[in-house]
Amino acid sequence: MMSLELSTLISSVLALGLAIPSNTCIVMGNLDIIRKKGKLSPTDVIFLAKGIVNILLQCVMSIEGMIFVFSLETFNIKQVFVFMNISIYFLIYYNFWLTFWLSAHYCTTITNLSYGFFIWVKRIVSNFRSQHLFLTALGVIIVSVPWFWVVNAESIQSSENSTEASGNRFRISLSYVVPMTFLGVILPFCLSLLCLLLTSSFLLRHVWRVKNNDSGSTRPNLQAHVTALRTIFFLLLIFTFFCGSQVIYFLPSSSLSIVFWNLQLLSSSVEAAVIFQASNKLRRIILRRFWTRSWRNTET
């Protein structure tokens, strides 16, 4: 087996082994909150959705890596190629929009702006329901499903005199790529970045006012706000890295594209770590479960 194929296989299995347990803990932790309290906060709903999406995305990407290693010719089948890409792009775009919803929730909760557009957005986010995520998923499906009709296959000949095709090369219509990229990547990124900038500017202005306040009042604890701001920043950093890796993935250098694709496999695990640092409730639930299980094992 070639070293490139071996590294892809190892990365696929390793990423799967890291992402599935970590994101499963997020899902199980939120289900435990539902069992005890009967409902979830908006942030917990988004964390639950992100955990499920990351599990599915990691499974699909790892399967794609294993197909690349063991049966590369399978990607010459248009139905397989299109199905894999629809699944991956749907999950990626949906995850990007979940990042926006989380950023918007933090932004509208922390900041207190009086602009008409901001008040309208705040009203929508303050009335956040699971239906918002369902409608978002429906919109992403509408954007992703046209892959079935816009992908064209071209036969690749093994030599100039050969009449038998050695494979297929798939092309996607540029008229579909542009709106798909705008709706699935650029729009949620710009909106999330706007939320990050608004939240940062509001907190900086608030800290400056508190420092210059001569009334002697007690300074408020901003730890929760700082955690929210850090969470948005890290998720946008993962967002940027993932999109940059996707661009490099399509460059002619196959070895470089494989390296960045292997790094993409770790994005689900990294997102799980970001979610854990953002949620004290999840950390307490997971630690309590592991502590109880280890205590029972020592007694038996």
Burial of 189 (0-12, 13-18, 19+ CB in 10 A): middle
- Asked whether residue 105 carries a pLDDT value surpassing 70, the answer given is yes
Of residues 148 and 164, which shows the higher confidence score?
148
In a domain, 299, yes or no: no
Q: Cα(54)–Cα(160) distance, rounded to whole angstroms?
A: 44
Quick one: pLDDT band at residue 52, thresholds 50, 70, 90?
A: very high
Which pTM does this prediction carry? 0.85
In a domain, 300, yes or no: no
In a domain, 214, yes or no: yes
The predicted pLDDT at position 255 comes to: 65
Percentage of the residues of the chain whose pLDDT score is greater than 70:
76
In a domain, 52, yes or no: yes
The predicted pLDDT at position 75 comes to: 75
Mean pLDDT of the chain: 79
Task: Judge whether 5 and 68 are in contact, CB under 8 Å.
Answer: yes
Q: Which of 15-24, 185-194, 195-204, 220-229 has the lowest mean pLDDT?
A: 220-229
Q: Which of 1-5, 90-94, 205-209, 274-278 has the lowest mean pLDDT?
A: 1-5
- Asked whether residue 238 carries a pLDDT value surpassing 60, the answer given is yes
What mean pLDDT is predicted for residues 262-291? Answer: 85
In a domain, 22, yes or no: yes
Q: Cα(138)–Cα(85) distance, rounded to whole angstroms?
A: 17
The predicted pLDDT at position 297 comes to: 55
| Structural domain total, the chain | 1
Q: Cα(218)–Cα(119) distance, rounded to whole angstroms?
A: 29
Quick one: pLDDT band at residue 165, thresholds 50, 70, 90?
A: very low
Residue 86, both tokens = 């629809």
- Asked whether residue 273 carries a pLDDT value surpassing 90, the answer given is yes
Q: Cα(185)–Cα(190) distance, rounded to whole angstroms?
A: 9
- Asked whether residue 294 carries a pLDDT value surpassing 60, the answer given is no
Could you tell me the CATH number of the domain that includes residue 48? Answer: 1.20.1070.10
Q: What is the pLDDT of residues 55-92, one digit of tens each?
A: 999 999 998 888 888 887 877 777 787 888 888 889 99
Percentage of the residues of the chain whose pLDDT score is greater than 90:
23
Residue 217, both tokens = 């009042």
The predicted pLDDT at position 91 comes to: 93
In a domain, 219, yes or no: yes
What mean pLDDT is predicted for residues 205-212? Answer: 76
Quick one: pLDDT band at residue 207, thresholds 50, 70, 90?
A: confident
In a domain, 257, yes or no: yes
The predicted pLDDT at position 156 comes to: 45
The predicted pLDDT at position 161 comes to: 44
Backbone angles phi, psi at 158, to 5 degrees: -70, -25
In a domain, 43, yes or no: yes
Residue 169, both tokens = 């090369």
The predicted pLDDT at position 58 comes to: 93
Q: Cα(196)–Cα(111) distance, rounded to whole angstroms?
A: 11
Question: What is the span of the domain harbouring residue 123?
Answer: 3-294
What mean pLDDT is predicted for residues 143-163? Answer: 57
| b (16+ CB within 10 A) / e for 227-261 | ebbebbebbbebbebbbebbebeeeeeeeebbbbb
The predicted pLDDT at position 1 comes to: 43
Q: Which of 94-98, 183-187, 217-221, 278-282 has the lowest mean pLDDT?
A: 217-221
